[in-house]
């Protein structure tokens, strides 16, 4: 490894050591700082997808009615970017160093801005790109500022607040808390924009509660209550994808917990077993699709998704290299999206597939970035599982990998890859960054030598 690379990696680990020093000085100080509470506000905005919990107009219909991106929406984007930068500037050196390590993540918003001149709606692309960039920089701030357990604790508190509020909305304010306009009057959506979004976030927050290691009795009780609330929210969201992926996550968590105490090579065996199980599911889909569709409450078209994908493929073929502009394809009865709406007779706000939406917005270049991110994340995760002997690191890697796996499968029939206001997208990026940092710490003996004095100071504290 080149000397410059070793020095950069050493600096990243040095930042991590400083975070450990801060944790050693007193865990309670984490919530005694105003910045921690303030960080919950932008995270809550991203969790709600920037939509008021008292709105129940349906995601697709909002897209149709606001396709012109009025001035207030653009001002709102600037405000949320400013709130993200308020935190980023406080830790700008560490954020910059982390950005240099995660070039692929930074490359996506750069591509968005480079392709903005060919966007169907230039101003919408620019304002949405600004929010995306702010969210990415906020991810770097979080990962350079907090330890993994502090990150999980942040999401545990955020998740408890949003999931409990969603249950209360569904029970006490059904006109807002249920997906009435989506044709699912009994399905809960809570304070989120749709029932599928509640199922998605409920599962992501469930992974947080399972992976978190509580430091006090209060957080231990909060952790167990959050597991229960998330399962209730997922169950009453009536989101078929949420049901399936909850089963996938439970199988994943149980398998890794079973082999954690065994030898390292057993992790490899566990992944082989998971792969065989995944292959068996694929075989059932191919050989007996009707059985699976009935089990999930869907038809052979996946509730019309296959028809949408066919129509979207035609639009992609027209502009495969540059796309139609970030957040500038689904404009309701304007532009190319009008043709798809006429074809499928639905008012749409997404392609019901994250990879297709990336192609629609920024072309093949964006898709390559996304696929590389997934590939590197799996590479980093598997290397850490096979080589690490630190239980805390293994638990962190297992959570990161769970988020990456769930994001991959979710975006087969939903869409939130590099969405500007989606907390699931931010959690995916946190997982990619976390896996990269864990691999760097594991594979660079030069770093351990350089940071030895710092680590000695940690133990002294």
- More confident call, 88 vs 50: 88
- Tens digit of pLDDT for each residue in 187-218? 999 999 889 999 999 999 999 999 999 988 99
Least confident stretch, 26-30, 338-342, 354-358, 366-370: 26-30
Q: CB of 424 within 8 A of CB of 200?
A: yes
- Tens digit of pLDDT for each residue in 134-166? 999 999 999 999 999 999 999 999 999 999 999
Tell me which DSSP letter residue 178 carries: B
pLDDT band at 449 (very low <50, low <70, confident <90, very high): very low
DSSP line for 104-120: HHHHHHHHHHHTGGG-S
Residue 372 to residue 356: CA distance in whole angstroms: 16
The rounded mean pLDDT for the chain is 83
What integer pLDDT is reported at residue 162 of this predicted model?
97
pLDDT band at 330 (very low <50, low <70, confident <90, very high): very high
What integer pLDDT is reported at residue 458 of this predicted model?
33
Token digits of residue 97: 């160093």
Strand partners, 325: none
Residue 109's nearest CA partner among 92, 131, 124 is: 131
Q: CB of 129 within 8 A of CB of 336?
A: no
What integer pLDDT is reported at residue 73 of this predicted model?
75
What integer pLDDT is reported at residue 363 of this predicted model?
95
* Crossing angle between the packed helical segments 71-90 and 122-145, to the nearest 10 degrees: 20
What integer pLDDT is reported at residue 342 of this predicted model?
86
- More confident call, 264 vs 456: 264
The total domain count for the chain is 1
Domain that holds residue 216: 3-460
> Residues 6 or more apart from 152 whose CB is under 8 A from it?
208, 211, 212, 213, 399
What integer is the mean pLDDT of 41-61?
80
Residue 375's nearest CA partner among 440, 435, 438 is: 435
Residue 452 to residue 457: CA distance in whole angstroms: 9
The dihedral formed by the CA atoms of 85, 86, 90 and 94, expressed in degrees to the nearest 10: -20
Tell me which DSSP letter residue 60 carries: H
What integer pLDDT is reported at residue 12 of this predicted model?
53
What integer pLDDT is reported at residue 8 of this predicted model?
54
Share of the chain above pLDDT 90, in %: 54
How remote is the C-alpha of 295 from its chain's centroid? 27
Model confidence at 124: pLDDT above 80: yes
- More confident call, 376 vs 185: 376
Percentages helix, strand, coil for the chain, rounded to the nearest 5?
75, 0, 25
pLDDT band at 70 (very low <50, low <70, confident <90, very high): low
Residue 75 to residue 83: CA distance in whole angstroms: 12
Residue 209's nearest CA partner among 243, 177, 232 is: 232
The dihedral formed by the CA atoms of 140, 146, 148 and 154, expressed in degrees to the nearest 10: -100
Longest alpha-carbon distance in the chain: 68
pLDDT band at 183 (very low <50, low <70, confident <90, very high): low
Least confident stretch, 21-35, 74-88, 269-283, 328-342: 21-35
- More confident call, 268 vs 313: 313
């Amino acid at each position: 490894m080149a000397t410059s690379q070793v020095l950069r990696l050493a600096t990243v680990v040095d930042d991590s050591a400083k975070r450990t020093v801060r944790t050693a000085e007193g865990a309670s100080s984490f919530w005694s700082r105003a910045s921690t509470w303030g960080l919950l506000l932008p995270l809550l905005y991203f969790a709600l997808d920037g939509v008021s919990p008292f709105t129940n107009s349906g995601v697709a219909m909002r897209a149709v009615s606001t396709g012109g991106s009025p001035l207030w929406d653009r001002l709102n984007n600037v405000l949320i970017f400013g709130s993200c930068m308020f935190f980023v500037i406080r830790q700008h050196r560490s954020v910059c160093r982390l950005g240099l390590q995660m070039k692929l993540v930074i490359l996506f918003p750069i591509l968005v801005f480079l392709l903005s001149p060919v966007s169907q709606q230039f101003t919408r692309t620019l304002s949405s790109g600004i929010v995306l960039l702010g969210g990415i920089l906020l991810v770097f701030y979080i990962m350079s500022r907090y330890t993994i357990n502090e990150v999980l604790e942040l999401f545990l508190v955020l998740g408890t607040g949003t999931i409990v509020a969603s249950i209360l909305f569904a029970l006490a304010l059904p006109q807002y808390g249920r997906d009435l306009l989506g044709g699912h009057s009994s399905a809960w959506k809570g304070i989120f924009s749709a029932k599928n979004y509640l199922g998605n976030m409920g599962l992501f927050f469930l992974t947080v509660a399972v992976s978190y290691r509580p430091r006090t009795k209060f957080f231990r009780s909060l952790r167990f209550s959050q597991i229960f609330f998330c399962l209730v929210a997922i169950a009453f969201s009536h989101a078929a994808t949420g049901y399936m992926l909850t089963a996938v996550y439970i199988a994943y968590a149980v398998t890794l917990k079973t082999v954690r105490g065994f030898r390292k090579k057993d992790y490899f065996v566990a992944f082989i077993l998971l792969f065989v199980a995944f292959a068996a599911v694929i075989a059932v889909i191919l050989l007996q699709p009707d059985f699976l569709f009935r089990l999930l409450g869907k038809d052979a078209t996946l509730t019309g998704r296959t028809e949408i994908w066919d129509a979207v493929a035609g639009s992609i073929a027209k502009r495969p290299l540059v796309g139609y502009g970030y957040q500038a394809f689904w404009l309701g009865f304007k532009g190319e999206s009008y043709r798809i709406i006429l074809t499928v007779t639905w008012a749409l706000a997404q392609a019901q597939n994250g990879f297709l939406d990336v192609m629609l917005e920024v072309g093949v270049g964006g898709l390559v970035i996304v696929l590389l991110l997934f590939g590197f994340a799996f590479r980093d995760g598997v290397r850490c599982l096979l080589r690490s002997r630190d239980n805390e690191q293994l638990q962190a890697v297992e959570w990161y990998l769970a988020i990456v796996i769930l994001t991959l499968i979710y975006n087969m029939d939903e869409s939130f890859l590099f969405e500007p206001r989606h907390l699931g997208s931010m959690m995916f990026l946190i997982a990619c960054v976390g896996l990269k940092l864990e691999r760097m710490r594991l594979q660079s003996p030069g770093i351990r030598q350089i940071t030895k004095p710092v680590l000695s100071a940690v133990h002294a504290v």
